[in-house]
Amino acid sequence: MLHRTRYLAALALLAGAACSKKDPAGAAGAPGGAAGGARPAPSITLAANDVAVVKRTSIEEGVAIAGDLGPEERVDVRARIEGDVMAAYEREGASVRAGQLLARFESTEQEGTQRSAEADRAAAQSELTTAQWNLDQGNDLYKAGAIAERDLRVSQQAVAAARARVAAADARIRANGLQVRDTRVLSPISGVIEKRMIEGGEHVSRGTALFTVVRNDILELAASVPAKLSTGLRVGQAVEFVADGRTVTGRVARISPTIDPASRSVTVYVRVPNPGSAIRGGTFVTGKVTNRVLDNVLVIPSAGLRQGTDNTKPFVYRIEGKTLGVVPVTLGVVDDRQGMAEVTSGLAEGDRVIVGNVGTLGRGMQVNIAGSAESARGGRQGKTVKP
């Protein structure tokens, strides 16, 4: 009897299960149903400036350079003599012209020596005049047979010796004249006093630095360029810089003929006119030496380029309708200064790509652009919605 009861209960359960499988309403009414069990695609809402349109425009190919602008000419004015500084006339920041008096040494000793040399020269000249007169007289007497040839030769030697003493006196005058001149410290160039290292009353040795004068109307940049990028550089090429928020133009003046073995770079020297000294020496600048300009090429912002972890071909996230796609691209010229890159394959004009860091992205994500007509129809969504 017990076995019969268990058998009937099992039949009833089987019958109930069969009925539920045949009932379509039960399947539709189940929570989620078959369709409700699928995971929704993640979505992201972007601002309009998170999207860039691929377009045709011009792009410059060149070499980026950066560094500090310095005066093209910097001169250290040094003491040519040892002595006491009587006065220093100019201070830092003062504009000076070539030959202008900057400082003065005590010159009593040098001037006295100069006057003594001039007196010696006058005495030597007087001796020469007397010796020459004696020689002229001796010539007449020798012709008349009144003196011997030996006496004539003595007169000739006296003239030669007197001339030598005059020449020596002239040399001492020139040397002492330089000593007197060096007591006056003059600016060797026109420019601006960058440093003043002395004060009046100091005793300085020969060779001591007194002033530093810089020529600030022309600045120079010495920039290191990777050797593989330096082959297109030429003297005279134009260089555009951004300095203190303003754009200035210079030209390549010199290129080092050798490669630095440590950095594998070439030093390029760029001259930048600086009328009115508007830019101060030491200003950091960034610029680019333009090699050529490409017109009517497809470009995208460099911020839209992505790189895989395995350093494979770069790719972009392209908006395809309302879905996000991953598209590998081939690049041409990259203009780092303008933040643009040429695309030679992978994209077409009018394609929309995502730029910048907008969060986690992936293939197949639903994209909604805030403020667009599609966004208005689709309603508001969160920034990133995970299933």
Domain boundaries in the chain?
A: 44-60+294-385, 64-71+215-293, 108-182
- The Cα–Cα gap between 230 and 63 comes to 8
Which 3 state secondary structure label does DSSP give 82? coil
CA atoms within 13 A on the CB side of 173: 14
Interval 95-130: pLDDT, tens: 999 999 999 999 998 889 999 999 999 999 999 999
Q: What fold is seen in the domain 108-182? A: Helix Hairpins (1.10.287)
Q: Which residue has the tokens 């149903």?
A: 33
State which CATH number among 1.10.3720.10, 2.40.420.20, 2.40.100.10, 1.10.1030.10 fits the domain covering 44-60+294-385. 2.40.420.20
Secondary structure of 214-275 in the HEC alphabet?
Answer: EEEEEEEEEEEEEHHHHHHCCCCCEEEEEECCEEEEEEEEEECCCCECCCCEEEEEEEEECH
| pLDDT tens digits for range 36-82 | 445 677 888 888 888 999 999 988 888 888 889 999 899 999 999 99
Lowest mean pLDDT among 10-19, 106-115, 179-188, 313-322: 10-19
Which residues is 87 bridged to in the sheet? 104
Fold designation for 64-71+215-293: Elongation Factor Tu (Ef-tu); domain 3 (2.40.30)
What per-residue confidence (pLDDT) applies to 291?
A: 78
Length of the chain: 387
Can you tell me the mean pLDDT for 14-33? 37
CA distances from 213 to 51, 81, 103, 274, 332 (A): 53, 19, 13, 16, 47
What is the average pLDDT across 129-135? 92
